[in-house]
Copies of this chain bind each other. A is one copy, B any other.
């Protein structure tokens, strides 16, 4: 079984929200703090829930390359974070695996260029179908952690990803930037 993670936006939590932007489509209600929990006790203004799942596009060579360079989550110096929920269009999901894979080409290479500075976690929510709509209609929740010095690399990665053909299928994207709260 995969592991479920819930992100609660609201009045409390160890992450301070420094900016929220509606990149494509509607945004999310503004909140001052974010908390991540493995279980899902609802609290706060919104709750986004996703599950870790298997890789859908990465090859063994790519996974081995990632394993060599990707940092773990929770590094003490990684005081910056970003939560980026994304929904892709029905046209994306109607494509066959080889068609989506062809459009995905380059995504992993762009991500590799941000390593080892940026730690990343991908959660899936398209198939969750929670009756309470907890996944907010998103397909993915991506979570990133990095030191302040790596912020330019992170920003460059976002710019490059958003310029890909794959991203033309993104119909909703919200960018939530965070800093670890000091107290």
A55 at the interface (CB under 8 A from B): yes
> Interface 1/0s, chain A 28-67, versus B by CB < 8 A?
0000000000000000000000010111111110110000
A10 at the interface (CB under 8 A from B): no
Main SS of the interface on chain A?
loop
Partner of A56, one of B1, B56, B99: B56
**Given A1-B137, A137-B1, A55-B97 contact (CB < 8 Å):** yes
Q: How far is the CB of A66 from chain B (nearest CB, A)?
A: 10
| A57: chain B residues within 8 A (beta carbon) | 97
| A95: chain B residues within 8 A (beta carbon) | 54, 60
**Given A55-B96, A97-B56, A129-B128 contact (CB < 8 Å):** yes
A4 at the interface (CB under 8 A from B): yes
Per the 8 Å Cβ criterion, residues 1-30 of A in contact with B are 1-2, 4
| A137: chain B residues within 8 A (beta carbon) | 1
Do residues B4 and A129 form an inter-chain contact, with CB atoms below 8 A? yes
Do residues B59 and A98 form an inter-chain contact, with CB atoms below 8 A? yes
